[in-house]
Amino acid sequence: MNFLVASLCMFFAGGLACLATTGRPHLTRWVGSSVALIGGALALVPTCMVLGGRVLTGLHLHWSMPFGSIALDMDALSAVFSTPILIIVMLAAVYGTEYLRPFEGKKNLAQSWFFYNLLAGSMLLVVVARNGMLFLLAWEIMSLASFFLVTFENEEESVREAGWIYLVATHIGTAFLLVLFVLLGRDNSTLDFSSFAASPGFAGIAFLLALVGFGTKAGFMPMHVWLPEAHPAAPSHVSAVMSGVMIKTGIYGLVRILTFLGSPPPWWGWLLVSVGAISGILGVLFALAQHDLKRLLAYHSVENMGIITMGLGIGLLGMSYQSPVVAFLGFAGSFLHVMNHALFKSLLFLSAGSVIHGSGTRDIDHMGGLLKRMPVTGLVFLLGSVAICGLPPLNGFVSEFMIYLGSLTSVAGNMRLPIAGIVAALVVAGSLALIGGLAVACFTKAFGIMFLGEARSTHAAHVHESGLAMRLPMAVLAAACIIIGVSGPFWMQLLGPAIAVATGVATDTQIYPTFAAHALWMMTLLAVAGIGLVGLLTFVRSRLLSARSVTREPTWDCGYASSTPRMQYTASSFAEPVTRMFNVFLRTRRRFSAPTTYFPTSSSFSTETRDLFHESLFRPAFTMTHRFLSRIHWLQHGRLNLYILSMIAALLVLLVWKLG
Amino acid sequence: MNTFFVSLLPVLLGLVLAPLLLGVIHRTKAVFAGRHGSPLLQAYSDLAKLLRKGAVYSRTTTWVFRAAPVIGLASVVSVMVLLPITGNSAPLSFVGDLIVFIYVLGLMRFFTVVAALDTGSSFEGMGASREVHFSALAEPAIVVGLVALASATGFLSLSGIFSAMSPTTWVVAGPALALVLAALFIVFLAENSRIPIDDPNTHLELTMIHEVMILDYSGPDLALVLYAAALKLWVLGALIVNVALSPLGLNGIRGVGLFVAGMLVLAVIVGCVESMMARSSFLKVPRLLVTAIALSGIAFMLIVRFTA
Amino acid sequence: MTLLQDTLLVALILTSFGMLVSGRLGAYIRMGALQGVMIGLLPLVVGRATPTLHVVFVAAAMIGLKGLVFPYLLFRALRESDTKREMNPFVGHVPSVFFGILALLGSFWMDARLGFPIHSSAALVIPVAFTTIMIGLFLIVTRRTALSQVIGFLVLENGIYAFGLAIVYEVPILLELGVLMDVFVAVFVMGIAIYHINREFDHIDIDRLNTLRG
């Protein structure tokens, strides 16, 4: 626990130290990144201890804040969520030292590093806080710190707009959480988690409040609207932290609240499955329609949060129907996907940052042929793509496989659920399959159009590979993706205690499905054999070709003379068949000026896919609110004495009302 | 150890016989067209000839292009280890291997598509785009279909499912199993780029899917690609044959013999379908595939109801 | 008997899905006719060993009307109104099928929740009826021409009829004939209406009827 407190102090105090280095960019870089590294390393000690099976005693100090207390504890659930937070924070900090270098002297980097460390500390505090007041405080610091990080390039209009949307969205979420905590703690004079218990009639409302409040942070559809705005606006290492781990605090909060609410009725599981399926499918569809690389990745975060939520839903259904095996598999898949998504999504954002750093554009359609000039970035992006598509032998598959297993065991065999559970399980299996297929479409598009073929513009033709400080974190993350991919059983065992916390059973009575462990071992075997086979076949082919003519010619152009790089398939054309099929949701806007006359001079075509919920739900809602509120705009007249008068009047009215 | 090698025999059977299916399909089509047709073993001689040649690579391509055929073949061979043959278990079987089966084939597709984009040709991009479009719809169909079979038998591995399927399963859930069979057949045609989804014999790049994606391969690489495609035809066909033959309840060597006969019949059926149907418009293919999803979904709900 | 009944019910669902995917009005009408025949056969196989004469009579009337007369009327309307043969629905075919699947899942779930006290051999009829009703409503809402809406209406009626069949075996013959008569009149009136709409506006697209409002 001392390490934990030290780490929190390191993050907050070290963050302040960054501010002190304003004006000396070299020093800022060193201080900022080493604070993040030391803080992360300090907190990793208790995290690893808890994951290794040790039980730590919590810290409980008095705090003068009403209802507040400084209650910290690291249990297995916290450890599962804090591990990716710390690892990603550390790696992204290393990456940031180089990524931010072009801004040195132009922007106040001390501020950026200050908020970065503040964000890291607050995320850690969120997962270890055991008091509602402390939790909300950490939550708010987290939101504000990330807001300032998003608006790093605040001279651009689009960035300011993105920051504004993020700020509004996150506070709407916080409002729900405030109500939730007040309701949870209303019976006691304290907001300590240990005394939280939902009265029977109220558990459902608490669940819904938590779903909306935490779902806003986690990016569930339709509360996801801030993600595709904020992630592209932020610097890439910040996007990696936000998309990789910050949104996971929403999942953490939801799971934590669920532990207070007792045994869940089936409709909770159903609701989570539906929310997850909608987020997953619509997330990947919107991703497919994007040609801004970082927006695409942001929508994929929505998709993956959907997958995680479906796993949680299956877990809850398993709990409702008293099937511990289904519950275990659902939660195991969900938690492992939290870790995996943190790894590969950060990897993808970091390599996207590397591409943007090198080419200066975020538009996929302007890239092409980058693999030749950025071999490392290209390779790790490919690995990240395979992982996020949930393909074996990388880590994304292991967690999706567990969720699949959860849904399979609920539909067949002796652990079968009642019919409502079966329908939910089928929805999960079908959605996962559809999401998997569409994700393959999306990432073959992203990788294929960006890194393969020929350069489509001068941006892409003059890219350069990033430096070591950027390549190293990416390589570490890629290696982690491979390692988790082939060591599945180990991770399942590691997650056991956290699942016990989430499902509320004692660790020693937990049902550990050996068939799943066996399946994962067999998959490891298959993966190793497959990799061996790849090696063997490569060897055979090189032997076959060794004594023969191997020539390099232009691509076969099907008889067309002189094809140019601009004639290559683009990301938009690649995705068009799918986006057209789902145009009901996507509503892609096409602007097309056709070539006219026999010698056409110019023609153009462009597509834009705005967010459905942003355009048809939130924008009208906010416009209406604005219209309504502008009616009482006369109250804001700017005369201070009248403001004070109205305050006094209000106080008097309250006093009279209370006394009378 | 000896029994392990015996259990590997079905894999060897597939590795040896898969190209024969192409020969049977071609012969069937030739008979329909009133031609004599190429020899049944033509695919083998094609592969042998390609393996003896040198290679030409596009200047645009990178290592991804060279990795794809190798990864594709390795994936489909790994999948064969999970594949049971009528009445005989697969060498490797575990709970949930049906998901692994589908996803490893997904890995193969990922690399085929990426390699097609590696050439920078818009024709190959077009094929790649169609491939991902159709397979995104084929995937839920096959997953739901196999989950339906798992639900019907109560087993969660391919070997378990197919060994548990018996005449009684058909009596209990016959109509539903027929729907799964239909769905699997549509997926089989789509995944193997057969008519009415794709025409493997057309000579216009604009109208192709799989053939256009592999346009730039030559020599041993092309041999790997073609062989992997033949194996994919074998493994997906094996699912259908396993379901279709399950009411006979055979096992052992008789099961294997009947299985091979079943595969050949399937090839003849594919030949007939290809001779009697035209390739469907690309805009209409998704309808066919969502029909497959619907068939699987209906079958699943019926099975849940029947076995309740 | 159950195998026959199940097969018929499965075929019934398939025709509904067939209508969701069919791209041409002709195929759509034929699919509706096929469904009519099946719904007519349904009382012969649901739940009892030997059908009574009354049941056979109703079945014959049903098949004749829904399988022959209605398609004939609709095809005539189609010919005379000179409508475009290609359907261009508000919601595309692929999302339509996804809706169908959801409707199916929902029906089975509702059936499990409602728990009708019916003979177990007819258990499948209820969810199939629900599915048919929902798909019928969906077709009415999302298809463009008045003609295709008529068929959606017929699908809806088929679903309600199947539902009734599962709940009560013996419906008084007069009532059944009355219902059939209603539907007949409805199709007839709609046929005339379509003819007039077409003569007035040269098309039967319902999404342009909204220009009529004041």
Q: How far apart are CA A420 and CA C110, in angstroms?
A: 9
Which one of A419, A438, A585 makes the best mutation probe of the C interface by having the most chain C beta carbons within 10 Å? Answer: A419
Determine the average pLDDT of the residues in B61-88: 91
Residue numbers in B near C7 (CB within 8 A):
174-175
pLDDT value at residue C171: 58
Does the beta-carbon distance from A419 to C95 stay under 8 Å?
no
CA–CA dist B224, A145 (Å, integer):
53
User: Measured at the alpha carbon of residue B181, what is the angle toward residues B175 and B184, in degrees to the nearest 5?
Assistant: 145
Q: Cβ C108–B301 below 8 Å, yes or no? A: yes
| C-alpha span between A306 and B126 (Å, rounded) | 30
Task: Please tell me what DSSP assigns to residue C69.
Answer: I
Closest alpha carbon within chain A to B152: A412
Write down the residue that tokens 């076995």 correspond to. B307
In the prediction, which pLDDT does A384 show?
A: 95
d(CA A27, CA A22): 9
Q: Which residue has the tokens 């808890």?
A: A50
Calculate mean pLDDT across residues A221-232: 90
Beta-bridge mates of residue A465 = none
Would you give the DSSP letter of residue C50? Answer: S
HSE (side-chain half, CA atoms, 13 Å) at C206: 17
Locate C166 and state its tokens.
């599962």
Confidence of residue A381 (pLDDT cuts 50, 70, 90): very high
Closest residue of chain C to A581, computed from CA coordinates: C94
Cite the DSSP H helix spans in A24-108: 25-51, 76-99
Q: Taking CB atoms and an 8 Å cutoff, what residues of chain A touch B295?
A: none
What distances in angstroms separate CA A346 from CA A87, A353, A650, B87, one per listed residue?
Answer: 10, 10, 50, 47
C213 band by pLDDT with thresholds 50, 70 and 90: low
A510 Cα distance to chain centroid:
29
C21 — contact with chain B (CB < 8 Å)? yes
What integer pLDDT is reported at residue B304 of this predicted model?
Answer: 82
Average pLDDT, chain C: 77
pLDDT band at residue C50 using 50, 70 and 90 as cut-offs: low
Q: Is the pLDDT of residue C196 over 90?
A: no
Residue range A590-600: average pLDDT?
84
Contacts of C109 in chain A (CB under 8 A): 419-420, 423
DSSP-based three-state secondary structure for A649: helix
| Residue from C109, C114, C130 whose CB has the most chain A CBs within 10 Å, to mutate | C109
Is the confidence at residue C120, as pLDDT, over 60?
Answer: no
Predicted confidence band of residue A57 (pLDDT cuts 50, 70, 90): confident
Q: Interhelix angle for A375-388 vs A468-486, to 10°?
A: 30
A279-310 tens-digit pLDDT: 999 999 999 999 899 999 999 999 999 999 99
**Best CA proximity match to C159, nearest among C172, C140, C143, C145:** C140
**From the CB of residue B46, how many other CB atoms can be counted at a distance below 10 Å?**
17
List pLDDT tens digits, range B116-149: 999 988 888 889 999 999 999 999 999 999 999 9
A426 touches chain C (CB under 8 A): yes
Q: Alpha carbon B269 to chain centroid distance?
A: 14
Summarize pLDDT for A120-136 with one digit per residue, the tens.
999 999 999 998 889 99
Quote the tokens at residue A39: 């803080």
CB A533 within 8 Å of CB B74? yes
Contacts of C98 in chain B (CB under 8 A): 290, 293
pLDDT in tens, A544-583: 998 888 899 888 877 776 678 888 888 888 988 888 888 8
- Whether residues B302 and C94 touch (CB distance < 8 A) is answered with no
Residue among A14, A159, A11, A168 nearest A85 (CA): A11
List all chains that touch chain A, counting a touch as 3 or more CB pairs closer than 8 Å.
Answer: B, C
DSSP B85: B
Phi/psi of residue A156, nearest 5 degrees? -95, 135
pLDDT of residue A263: 86
Alpha carbon separation from B201 to A213, B211, C71 (Å, rounded): 56, 8, 40
CA distance C78 to chain B (A): 23
Residue B108 in this model has a pLDDT that exceeds 80 = yes
What pLDDT is recorded for position B203? 65
Whether the pLDDT of residue A178 is over 80: the answer is yes
C101 touches chain B (CB under 8 A): yes
pLDDT confidence bin for C123, thresholds 50/70/90 = confident
> Residue-wise over C37-73: b if at least 16 C-beta within 10 A, else e?
bbbbbbbbbbbbeeeeeebeebbeebbebbbeebbeb
Separation between Cα atoms, residue B101 and residue B96, nearest integer Å:
9
| 3-class secondary-structure state, position A59 | strand
pLDDT exceeds cutoff 70 at C1: no
Residue C205 has pLDDT above 70, yes or no: no
Token pair for A145:
């710190």
A166-175, A183-192, B181-190, C32-41: least confidently modelled range: A183-192
Instruction: Calculate what percentage of chain A has a pLDDT beyond 70.
Output: 98
Per-residue pLDDT at A25:
84
Q: For residues C80 and A596, which has the higher predicted lDDT (pLDDT)?
A: A596
> Measuring CA to CA, which residue among A652, A654, A618 is closest to residue A228?
A618
User: What residues does each domain of chain B span?
Assistant: 19-306
Label residue A354 by pLDDT band (50, 70, 90): very high
CB contact under 8 A, B106 and A440: yes
Render pLDDT for A197-220 as a digit per residue (tens, 0 to 9): 767 778 888 899 999 999 999 999
**Within the 419-448 window of chain A, which residues sit less than 8 Å (CB to CB) from chain B?**
419, 422-423, 426, 429-434, 436-438, 440-441, 443-445, 447-448
Q: Is A490's pLDDT higher than 70?
A: yes
Mean pLDDT, chain B, whole residue set: 88
Predicted confidence band of residue A352 (pLDDT cuts 50, 70, 90): very high
Integer angstrom CA distances of residue A647 from A318, A631, A641: 54, 20, 10
The SS3 of residue B35 is coil
Q: Comparing C53 with B35, which gets the higher pLDDT?
A: B35
- Taking the C-alpha atoms of residue B65 and residue B60, their distance in angstroms, rounded to an integer, is 10
- ipTM, two decimals, is 0.94
* Residue A170 CB burial class (10 angstroms; 0-12, 13-18, ≥19): buried
